[in-house]
Amino acid sequence: MGPHPAVAAIRLAVRRVLHDVIAEHAEQNERAGHAPRPALARAGAGSRLGTLPDRPDTPLVLVACSGGADSMALASALAFEARKLPVRAGGITVDHGLQDGSDTRAAEVAARLAAMDLGPAEAVAVHVGREGGPEAAARDARYAALDAAAERHGAAAVLLGHTRDDQAETVLLGLARGSGIRSLSGMAAASGPAGRYRRPFLQLDRQTARTACLAQSLPVWDDPHNIDPAYTRSRLRHEGLPALEKALGKGVVEALARTAQLSRDDADALDTWAAAADRDVRDDAGRLECAKLYALPPAVRRRVLRRAAIEAGSPAGSLFARHIEEVDRLVTGWRGQQAINLPGRVEALRQGGRLVIRQS
């Protein structure tokens, strides 16, 4: 008798990602001129091929695990699949320090990861600042810790437990911000430096992950922040989406996730167009020419302006649609406006038919 259908589904999703990581790692080795080593025999039922000390050429894949159902299901699937593949598997849990006893819980999660034969299995404490609000600050601190762990251990990938439900919530949050099609594209299956972050569960719902944990008797921790109405995502999860489903019927989550993929395809195409257009709208000195910018379709022009602002030092996460709209008016509605101040102490101004974006 095979595994529970939910367990089979999460294992298949992880297996596909691991095959991608292994193939990419082999390609990198080939480009670097490293010959692959022959497969080694398994040392025993309790060992894992990837943990053998004489297999440094096997990629390390880490799972980011909070102890919740999504990430625990992900960790268990990674541990299971890694035993059969030429890959090393480890886990990282981040202690945000926002609740009493968070350090104890983080240590418990790390111990569970180690018990799954994941190694390294670490708990990393971070300091959460205030910039951008509590949710954004916690996210920034978490990703900084995961980036540092990946660099420290030389990990080829870090798996994240975001589900289709998380994707739907992200699309709605982007819609509420009015940030354009890129926000509607939600989370990518692969993101970060060199595609470091992988999200195997974007096609699976949250209930599948929870059911997989129940089927395997995996202990899970439900973060009270996830039901705290003080947090925007929590209100959306427990009030907003249920209200939409009541008004529109079932299938809202699936439709939003599908919208994310369609929007991502469109956004990627426009970004490619903007990258090519960026070269054509500059003079010999590399300055942006307003007349050439004006001739571009608005969606492409705004992408060129955003790229220029980021290159000048404006943080991408703080650069919103309203900022780019103001810069765009220097091109399309020029009436002698003053310089536009952008995040990161960057300014945009029009000088002699050129658009100058620079540090102020």
**Does 91 have pLDDT greater than 80?**
yes
As a whole number of angstroms, the distance between CA 223 and CA 273 comes to 42
Q: Provide mean pLDDT across the span 180-194.
A: 90
8 A C-beta contact, residue 150 and residue 56: no
8 A C-beta contact, residue 323 and residue 343: yes
* pLDDT tens by residue, 106-121: 999 999 999 999 999 9
Q: Comparing 197 with 138, which gets the higher pLDDT?
A: 197
Lowest model confidence (mean pLDDT) among 2-11, 203-212, 230-239:
230-239
The widest CA-to-CA distance across the chain, in whole angstroms, is 76
8 A C-beta contact, residue 52 and residue 43: yes
8 A C-beta contact, residue 157 and residue 184: no
* pLDDT tens by residue, 289-340: 999 999 999 999 999 999 999 999 998 878 888 899 999 999 999 999 999 9
CA-angle at 198, arms to 196 and 199, nearest 5°: 155
8 A C-beta contact, residue 164 and residue 202: yes
* pLDDT computed for residue 172 by the predictor: 92
Work out the percent of the chain whose per-residue pLDDT is above 70.
93
* pLDDT computed for residue 35 by the predictor: 58
304 is written with which tokens?
Answer: 């060129």
209 is written with which tokens?
Answer: 């992950």
Global confidence as pTM: 0.83
**Does 212 have pLDDT greater than 50?**
yes
**Does 48 have pLDDT greater than 90?**
no
| pLDDT mean across residues, the chain | 90
24 is written with which tokens?
Answer: 């990419």
Bridge partners (DSSP) of residue 112 are none
* pLDDT tens by residue, 258-282: 999 999 999 999 999 999 999 999 9
Q: Provide mean pLDDT across the span 75-79.
A: 98
* pLDDT computed for residue 203 by the predictor: 95
Q: Which long-range contacts (CB under 8 A, 24 or more apart) does 182-189 make?
A: 182/263, 182/267, 184/259, 184/260, 184/263, 185/260, 185/261, 185/263, 185/264, 185/266, 185/267, 186/257, 186/260, 186/263, 186/264, 187/162, 187/260, 188/264
* pLDDT band (50, 70, 90) for residue 40: very low
8 A C-beta contact, residue 105 and residue 113: no
The helix (run of H) or strand (run of E) holding residue 10 is helix 5-32
Backbone region of residue 281 per phi and psi (left: phi > 0; alpha: psi in -120 to 50; beta: other values): alpha
- Residue 333 neighbours by CB under 8 Å, 6+ apart: none
SS3 (DSSP) at 206 = helix
* pLDDT computed for residue 36 by the predictor: 55
140 is written with which tokens?
Answer: 């920034």
